[in-house]
Structure 1
Amino acid sequence: MENTNMNRRRFFTQILGVGGLVALAPALLKLSSAKAQEKRRSAAPPAAGGAMPMVDPKDPVAKAVKYVEDFKKAPEAKGNHCATCGFYAKKETRNGKEVGTCTIFAGKLVYADAWCASWNKKA
């Protein structure tokens, strides 16, 4: 009989432990996500004069999506470029070239004539 009680105690102790983890999981995930976002923001070097930096084609994210600064150099672009992408929004002109923001590269600018494998036709 005593062995059965011990198993019950262990069972309820484990249930309470799992229940506590389930209750804390959303808060822990939110905290982890906030730290990751802050780390990404601080990793981007500030551009001169406080302006947003340009995407570096050697950046790991840029490499992952095959980012190129000139769509004409990427045969798989098939004539598509950032200016015709749904993720792109024109921002300004730099060095005589149009640049804008892209949701793929938060906090950085891309050239309008650039392209990446995440290209998505504007609606």
Structure 2
Amino acid sequence: MIESKMNRRGFFSTLAKITGVAVVAPAALSAVFSSTAEAQKKRGGAPAAGGAAAGGMPMVDPNDSVAKAVKYVEDFKKAPEAKGNDCMGCGFYAKKEVRNGKEVGTCTIFAGKLVYGQGWCASWNKKA
């Protein structure tokens, strides 16, 4: 069995390292989060903190790879397979606001982006 005894020098060396991490980590994290907030301000978006206003969220681009994979369309009437269903009737959709006279909301399929309420995709799931 190997005995591990920490001598006085080892103890203070370890203590200094732990203290250094405790002092540097919050400053580093603060710098990361403030630079993220600054970048979002420059783009004109809302901060990423919880409860962010939907006004700063971008709309889903129908040409996005995820949108194409689920066959997202901004107008359900243009997708015969929608069978009259739209995002407003989907369990993944939550209304947020009105943009350019059209209802928009969040969708769990497209994290951080908004979809049109009159949109549709192949992941449509009837609202409970």
Band of TM-score, shorter chain: 0.5 to 0.7
Residues 61-72 of structure 1: matches in 2 within 5 Å?
A: 61-72=66-77
Give the secondary structure class of the aligned counterpart of 1:93. Answer: strand
Which residue of the other structure, out of 41, 49, 56, is the alignment partner of 2:44?
Answer: 49
Q: Give the distance between the partners of 2:96 and 2:119, measured in 1 at CA.
A: 14
Determine if the alignment matches structure 1 residue 110 to structure 2 residue 115: yes
More helix by share: 1
Gaps of 5+ in 1: 1-41
- The alignment covers a number of residue pairs equal to 79
Q: Runs of at least 4 residues of structure 1 off by over 2 A?
A: 46-49
* RMSD of aligned alpha carbons: 1.8
1:48 Cα deviation (Å)?
A: 5.8
Give the secondary structure class of the aligned counterpart of 1:79. Answer: coil
TM-score, normalised to structure 2, is: 0.59
Please say which of residues 111-120 and 48-57 is displaced more in the overlay: 48-57
TM-score, normalised to structure 1, is: 0.61
- Residue identity over aligned pairs, in percent, reads 82
